Every structure is written in C-alpha cells, then in structure tokens.
Amino acid sequence: MSDDTIRAILSGYQADTPGTKANLYRMLAQGRLGGTGRLAILPVDQGFEHGPARSFAVNPPAYDPLYHFRLALEAGCSAFAAPLGLLEAGADRYAGALPLILKVNSANALSGDLEAPTQALTAGVDDALRLGCAAIGMTIYPGSDRAYDMLEDLRELAAEARAKGIAVVVWSYPRGGGLSAAGETALDVVAYGAHMACLMGANIVKVKLPSAHMEQPEAAKAYAAAGIDTSSLAKRVAHVVQSCFNGSRIVVFSGGAAKSDLAALYDEIEAIRDGGGFGSIIGRNSFQRPWPEAVMMLTTVMDILAGRARPSPPNAAAST
C-alpha cells in the first residue's frame, strides 16, 4: 500500500476535517485497490430503485442483505453502499470489516415524474454515525424541475456530515426537465453534473459514463471552439475528471445495467483507467451474477484499474 498516493489525493481536500479525511483514507486504503489511488465500490440500492425481482430474481441468494457484505469483502472492494435497512441488517456483524456508505435518499419505480424526478430522504447523518459508516451518499438530478430542492437538501446534509467527520458521496445523474434520453449521458451534461456536485462540496462524485452526444447547443459550440477531444471513451472520461476541479476531486463511474459481454465491461474499465478516472461503482454487473463469476469479475475490474494484466473473460468466445 502506498501511503504517499493516498496523502497526495487527500491534499486536494483543504477544507475538510481530519475526521472526514480519515474516512476517505479508509476507503482508499481498503481491499484489493488499497493504496493505488483507485476505488471499486459495490452499491446495492437497486432494490429501492427498481424493485426486488428486477434486482435479485436472476440471482436469488442476493435477496439476502448479508450476501452483499460478503461479496464486497470476498472481492476486496473499497466500500459498500446501500440504503438504511440493508446496512442495518449487517452493520453489526461486519463492524469495521469494510467502509460503509449510507445512501440517504432514494427513488422508486412505483411513482415518478418524468419532468420533475426527485428522491425522498430516507436516512440521515446520525444513522451513518450509528452504523459506523465512512460516508453518506446522496443522489441529485441536475436538470429536473425539482433539482433546486435536491440541492438544498444536499447542502444541509453535507454541512452536517462535514461537521461530524463523515465524507459525502454524490450520485449526480442529470435527468428530467428538457433533457432528452440521450442527453442524460451526453458528455457536456455529464461533465456539467459532475462539476455541479463538486461545487456542492462532494468528496466523491459518481456519474455515468459519457457518450459523444452533445445536448446543449451552446456547450457544443464551446467544445468545438476549445478543440476538446471527444473521440474516445477514455478522452471523454478525462474531460469529466478535468471538470472535477482539474482532477482534485475523486470521481467514479457507474457500471450501469448488467452486461452479458464481460469484454465490453472490461473495455469500459480500461477507458476509466486510461482517462484518469478514480474507479468504478459497480452493482448489477456484480450481484446479478453467480457468486464465483461475480468475484472473478470484480477482482478483474480492480486488477484493470490498478494496471495489472487483463485476462481473457471466460465468455469472450461466446460474446463475439
């Protein structure tokens, strides 16, 4: 483990307390990627967002909350993120075993507003302290007609978290308002959402991988005038990282829906690494697979992020 690497990253967080930095250190020092400056986080909030069958029926052992604690530990993940009840199910048994991130707001598939999507607050900073969490996590939807309400909630929770030495992870997912479906992952929009999360004081920013699409005409003109290279996923990742205070804030990228083609997933992880991204937060692509395959996939993701050799995935021939 390289303490110097972690300290160099933490040097960018000048306004944070020793407590918050200690919790960031815990995540950066944990597991298979400890000391590399990279992160691989297992998030399991999909049961809230999509429902239990859509999330776990493909791999029934994943209905058990403890399954996910064990998976994060066995694979050597940097942290485990989940809503209140799921963390409560295993926080005592696994106390101190790995850093936890309490997801403090959630949406659900039973209700929604396409123009004004939002999330309900479902937990707080004191819950995170009670459960021994390293951080709270909160989703914002830049572009939503309810975005200002979400930003105000984030401001209050982030201030409380900082005062109590807890790190803040922000899921910044632009959607709603006038954004098109393609616009939610457009490079200009993803970079804007990531930058907005940094401006709100996020210690770690989570965004989706950016496409080459440009949603905002004025932004497209600015990109063209500045000659910003958007030709590859790695170049687009590099631009998002640049938008996060020139790389002085930790930004990780979503793994998205489960992929049958592991080679395609590993290509994305290589692009994150080559673009200077800090890592991946990867849920359905892991816990929706059988245990041995999930562990193998997660360890391979971490090896790629760390610059180790990439093996040929077992299903590569079937996927081509």
For residues 188 and 215, give the distance between their C-alpha atoms in angstroms, rounded to a whole number: 7
Burial class (CB in 10 A: 0-12, 13-18, 19+), 49: middle
164 as an active site residue: the answer is no
The terminus-to-terminus CA distance of the chain in angstroms comes to 37
Output the six-digit token pair for 86: 């799921």
Task: Exactly one of 206, 208, 235, 259 is catalytic; name it.
Answer: 206
Can you give the C-alpha Rg of the chain in angstroms?
18
Other beta carbons within 10 Å of 233: 21
Q: Please give, one letter per residue, the 3-state secondary structure of 173-207.
A: CCCCCCCCCHHHHEHHHHHHHHHHHHHCCCCEEEE
Eight-state DSSP code of residue 66? H
Residues 6+ apart with CB under 8 A from 34: 1, 28, 78
Q: Which residues are catalytic?
A: 206
